[in-house]
Amino acid sequence: MNGEAILPYLIIIPLFGAFAMPIVSLAGKKAREAWAVIISALTLVVASAVFYHVWKTKEIIVYTLGAKTPFGQGVGFPIRIVWEVDLFGAIMVLTVAFVSLMAVLYSLGYMKHDTGLEKYYTLILILELGMLGIAITGDLFNFYVFLEIMSIASYALVAFRNDTWEGIEAGVKYMFVGSIAGSFILLGIALLYGQYGTLTMGYIAVKIAENPTVTAKVALALFIAGLLFKSGASPVHMWLADAHPAAPSSISAMLSGLVIKVGGIYAMARILFSIYSPMAHSIVLKAYLQPYINMSAIGWLIIIFASLTLIIGNAMAVIQTDMKRLLAYSSVGQIGYILLGLGIGLAAYGTQTGEVALAGAIYHTVNHAIMKALLFLVAGVVIHEVGTRNLNELSGLAKTMPKTTFAFLIGAAAIVGLPPLNGFASKWLIYESSAVFNPVLGAIAIIGTAFCTAAYVRVLYTFFGRPSERVANARDPETSMMLPMLLLVLAIVIMGLLPWQISDKVMIPTARMLEQFKFEYINALMSLAGGA
Amino acid sequence: MFGYWDALYFVFIFIIGLILAWLLNEWAKKSGMGTRETGDGTKIFISGEDPDKVVPGFEHLEGHFTGKNVMWGLTYALKRFFRVLRDDHTGLLTDYVSYLLITTGFVLGVILIWG
């Protein structure tokens, strides 16, 4: 199987699916729903093939748009857009495609009373497309375009239900601040382009290593600030607690499960490890006493934000009475763990501690996508059946909605980090590496988990409490809503039963590929030089 | 060694935790003022919550010596921290923008000085 041959279909299929949706919708409701499911399922098939190819061969796929090589004729540097997929990109692609399919399946039942669904399914496919594009691109401006495609689809979907002010207000706020954060990222790209004259990530990495200027540092600051916002890190997380609960639950699952990971965490990791190569700066240039960017300080900077995020996010979750808002703050808290792993991966670069922390961060990114998608889908079912998100009115739900409560129980136990579920393994890697790196960070991580546990135990306590009148007529939902939840539960349990196999065979190799000890990302691109 | 655990450790820790909880409970019964296991004198336990007092947000839950006591204890002990957090989350767009600008300034400063 040729990775380069299948990669474009990852974009072509959802793009075609999204723009054909209004036409297909003319054939009726069933056709529209079938189209959305077929397109998402086909995208998942392609995503699985891409992942399998990269995982099996351990080779980075490099695809040039419109030519065989990104290097122009007569010039020694890349001028064309390239897509470059390493294992981290491939994992994100697979996760995005899987959770998006679950969200589409769930929407069949959840959104059936809504109108304007051709727009809804178009936007959901565009959102998926934007995320897939971010995960595969190796070009900075192309990355920005996909980031904006994803963001604009998110703004529109948050405000999709415009019969209440909540969605509109949250959507407007999200769009306004999100646009400022996006413009910071664009400014960072413009600075790098102005300084180094190229937009290809692998080649910018070479140029920055040759001449790490103040402009490169300013650009890095703008990237980090913008992407901290996009990932929902404290103190720029407040939009998330408005936007994620206001969206329809299927969209909340994608926003909390995927958008903040791909548009925030993944993008940050890609920029930090592939453009500002720590191997070049922290090891090579430092050893030869050449000017370099202190990536260890950048790691500590991220650790500071991570610590703040995991305490504030999880603590705010404890005092929420709105179930979806609780889940949104919990997402902020979990982003804290991922950032902690990422920060330690950078600050302890070149050590086993750093590698394990990075593997933990990548692992938790995948795990949290699945767990949080499940929890938001459960919240959607509860709203659908009971008509409220107020926890004080949901007492005794376990008696009337046993299957839904069971799904929540699994999701909550996994997110708290209870063995033998999937959240345990990834959190364990992060705890272990943070405790080895700096015991204070280990303690902060544990305090965050104490808050996280309190928040979820409270919900469970409510669900298993004395049945209130409000929940008396609630029932478990129809199959189309139950099936995605069941599949996500299965994913959590199966991944939980194979924690170290997944860690050793997938996450550690992914972390190694991202760390670029042999400049793999740069070499994959530069190997195409001279082929024009 | 990184990344490996033995399920037996969890069983041991769970048993130790249970023993500690039991000892704490026994100690609380002896030393707690006005503490009884049943009847009107029931005051405590873990959190010192008054069972007659309705705890906001937990009106639907009944009983004493339940999960809500622990929860009440946690939120009561950290009420100042939670108040600061709650006050900080104003929901105002201008605040969101301010935080973004402050964060950007902080990141820029750190990278220019130490980066």
**What are residue A85's phi and psi, to 5 degrees?**
-115, 115
Contacts of B55 in chain A (CB under 8 A): none
What pLDDT, in 10s, does the model give residues A494-526? 998 888 889 889 999 999 999 888 888 888 888
Return d(Cα B115, Cα A332) in angstroms, integer: 26
pLDDT score recorded for residue A343? 96
* Inter-chain touch A395–B112, beta carbons under 8 Å: no
Task: Tell me what the mean pLDDT of segment A86-108 comes to.
Answer: 95
Return d(Cα A64, Cα A142) in angstroms, integer: 12
* DSSP designation for A59: -
Contacts of B99 in chain A (CB under 8 A): 235-236, 238
pLDDT score recorded for residue B64? 45
- What's the Rg (C-alpha) of chain B? 23
Does B73 reside within a domain?
A: yes
pLDDT score recorded for residue B6? 62
Among left, alpha and beta (phi > 0; psi -120 to 50; other), residue A510 is: alpha
Find which of B65, B87, B111, B113 to mutate to test the A interface (most A CBs within 10 Å of its CB).
B111
Instruction: Pick the more confident residue, B37 or A167.
Output: A167
* Inter-chain touch B111–A298, beta carbons under 8 Å: yes
Determine the distance in angstroms separating the CA of B28 from the nearest CA of chain A, rounded to an integer. 22
Predicted TM-score (pTM) of the model is: 0.91
- Domain that residue B41 falls in: 7-114
CA nearest neighbour of A431 among A419, A443, A422: A443
Nearest by CB: B115 against A294, A391, A500: A294
pLDDT score recorded for residue A112? 87
Q: Are A341 and A358 in contact (CB under 8 A)?
A: yes
Return d(Cα A376, Cα A254) in angstroms, integer: 9
Determine the distance in angstroms separating the CA of B39 from the nearest CA of chain A, rounded to an integer. 22
pLDDT score recorded for residue A493? 92
Alpha carbon A12 to its chain centroid, in Å, reads 21
* Inter-chain touch A242–B107, beta carbons under 8 Å: no
Asked if the bond preceding A245 is cis, omega within 30° of 0, the reply is no
Q: Say yes or no to pLDDT of B31 above 80.
A: no
Does B104 reside within a domain?
A: yes
What pLDDT, in 10s, does the model give residues A143-152? 999 999 999 9
Return d(Cα A348, Cα A338) in angstroms, integer: 15
Does B1 reside within a domain?
A: no
What pLDDT, in 10s, does the model give residues A56-68? 999 999 999 888 8
What pLDDT, in 10s, does the model give residues A237-261? 999 999 988 999 999 999 999 999 9
Residues contacting residue B36 through CB under 8 Å, at least 6 positions apart:
B42, B43
Could you tell me if A428 lies within 8 Å of chain B, comparing CB atoms? yes
C-alpha count within 13 angstroms, C-beta hemisphere, residue B17: 6
Instruction: Pick the more confident residue, A1 or A68.
Output: A68
Return d(Cα A112, Cα A208) in angstroms, integer: 52
What pLDDT, in 10s, does the model give residues A166-218? 889 999 999 999 999 999 999 999 999 999 999 999 999 999 999 999 999 99
Burial class (CB in 10 A: 0-12, 13-18, 19+), A378: buried
- Out of A352-366, A393-407, B52-66, give the one with best mean pLDDT: A352-366
Could you tell me if A468 lies within 8 Å of chain B, comparing CB atoms? yes
In percent, the amount of chain A with pLDDT more than 70 equals: 99
Q: Say yes or no to pLDDT of A315 above 60.
A: yes
* Inter-chain touch A457–B67, beta carbons under 8 Å: yes
Does B2 reside within a domain?
A: no
Return d(Cα A129, Cα A152) in angstroms, integer: 12
Find which of A172, A214, A224 to mutate to test the B interface (most B CBs within 10 Å of its CB).
A224
Give the pLDDT band (50/70/90) at residue A337.
very high
What pLDDT, in 10s, does the model give residues A28-55? 999 999 999 999 999 999 999 999 999 9
Asked if the bond preceding A484 is cis, omega within 30° of 0, the reply is no
Contacts of B96 in chain A (CB under 8 A): 173, 177, 236, 238-239
Q: Are A57 and A516 in contact (CB under 8 A)?
A: no
Cβ of A100: how many Cβ atoms within 10 Å? 29
Can you spell out the DSSP letters for chain B?
-TT---HHHHHHHHHHHHHHHHHHHHHHHHHSTT--SSSTT---TTTT--TTSPPTT-TT---SSSHHHHHHHHHHHTHHHHHHHHHH----HHHHHHHHHHHHHHHHHHHHHH-
Nearest by CB: B107 against A173, A224, A462: A224
Contacts of A433 in chain B (CB under 8 A): 2
Q: Say yes or no to pLDDT of A113 above 80.
A: yes
CA nearest neighbour of A350 among A362, A340, A358, A338: A358
Q: Which residues pair with A139 in a beta bridge?
A: A200
Return d(Cα A147, Cα A34) in angstroms, integer: 28
pLDDT score recorded for residue A532? 42
CA nearest neighbour of A322 among A388, A370, A372: A388
* Inter-chain touch B61–A298, beta carbons under 8 Å: no
Q: Which range has the worst mean pLDDT, A84-93, A281-290, A427-436?
A: A281-290
Whole-number mean pLDDT of chain A?
Answer: 91
Does B109 reside within a domain?
A: yes
Does B68 reside within a domain?
A: yes
Cβ of A116: how many Cβ atoms within 10 Å? 12
Strand, helix or coil for residue A84: strand
pLDDT score recorded for residue A26? 94
Q: Say yes or no to pLDDT of B60 above 70.
A: no
Contacts of A181 in chain B (CB under 8 A): 100
Could you tell me if B74 lies within 8 Å of chain A, comparing CB atoms? yes
Could you tell me if B18 lies within 8 Å of chain A, comparing CB atoms? no
* Inter-chain touch B112–A429, beta carbons under 8 Å: no
Task: Tell me what the mean pLDDT of segment A349-371 comes to.
Answer: 93
Task: Give chain B's domain count.
Answer: 1
Whole-number mean pLDDT of chain B?
Answer: 74
Q: Which two tokens stand for residue B54?
A: 């309705």
Query: Which ipTM did the prediction report?
Result: 0.92
pLDDT score recorded for residue B68? 63
Does B44 reside within a domain?
A: yes
Determine the distance in angstroms separating the CA of A462 from the nearest CA of chain B, rounded to an integer. 8
Residue A377's H or E segment, with its range, is helix A352-386
Contact map slice: B 21-50 vs A, CB within 8 A = none
Nearest by CB: B61 against A228, A239, A465: A465
Nearest by CB: A500 against B3, B85, B86: B3
Return d(Cα B85, Cα B107) in angstroms, integer: 22
